[in-house]
Amino acid sequence: MQGKFITIEGCEGVGKSTQLALLKEYFENNGIDAIFTREPGGTDVAEKIRSIILDANNKALTPVTELLLYAAARRQHTEEKIIKALSEGKVVVCDRYADSTVAYQGYARNLDKQLIGELNRIAMADVNIDLTLFLDLPPELGFARKGGADKNDRLENEKLDFHKRVYEGYLAVAENNKDRVVRIDSSKDVDGVFAQIVDAMKKAGVV
């Protein structure tokens, strides 16, 4: 029995953490066997890579090195955790996955999108995403909602123009993958956003 793989994407401050908590409660209340994980990270090795990527002191990290570190963390995470859970018939919910690399490294860092596609293919180890929930909120509103950037997070501390390019990347991903990506209007209140998420999951047949 093959499980279902759901990814949640969006810019900083869109409310992913809040919605993930509600989703966990929803699955528990409905008897759905699910695991929740995140990227970069999700396993011991990948979490160590995450600490390198996000450390605000690592200002010398080059864009290509950053890209390769994300790919390495993703492959470890996918092989060690995601494939196993899916093979056990579980629903896997991941806070960020391959689309983040397209948005952050492809659009915001302006790296070769064909290269990113190939690295994502390798890193995903033939795993398919069943549904991506794109929490759609422009970065200026997201940062206002969360009270500014986390000073300890290297990526959050990038200039607003960087985050605007990330947002453009997400919009492009959503446009080019309409069969998989559902745009969730995150300007609504918490309950309104969650109602859209549940509706999207039901329509996609993942719950």
Phi, psi for 184 (deg, rounded to 5): -110, 120
The long-range contacts involving 120-126, CB below 8 angstroms and separated by at least 24 positions, are 120/71, 120/74, 122/71, 122/75, 123/70, 123/71, 123/72, 123/74, 123/75, 123/78, 123/98, 124/74, 124/78, 124/98, 125/75, 125/78, 125/79, 125/83
* Digit-coded pLDDT (tens) for 86-133: 999 999 999 999 999 999 999 999 999 999 999 999 999 999 999 999
The CATH number linked to 23 is 3.40.50.300
Q: What is the mean pLDDT of residues 178-188?
A: 97
Q: For residue 139, is the peptide bond before it cis, meaning its omega torsion is within 30 degrees of 0?
A: no
Domain limits for position 26: 4-204
The one-letter code for the residue type at 152 is N
Res. 74: pLDDT tops 90: yes
The answer to whether residue 1 scores a pLDDT higher than 90 is no
Number of compact structural domains in the chain: 1
* pLDDT for 44: 98
Amino acid identity, position 109: R
* Nearest-5° Cα angle at 88, 86 to 91: 45
Q: What's the pLDDT at 117?
A: 98
Q: What is the pTM of this model?
A: 0.96
Cα–Cα dist 86/124, whole Å = 13
Strand order in the sheet with 4-9: 34-38, 91-95, 4-9, 131-136, 181-185
Amino acid at 203: K
Say how far apart CA 13 and CA 30 lie, in whole Å.
Answer: 28
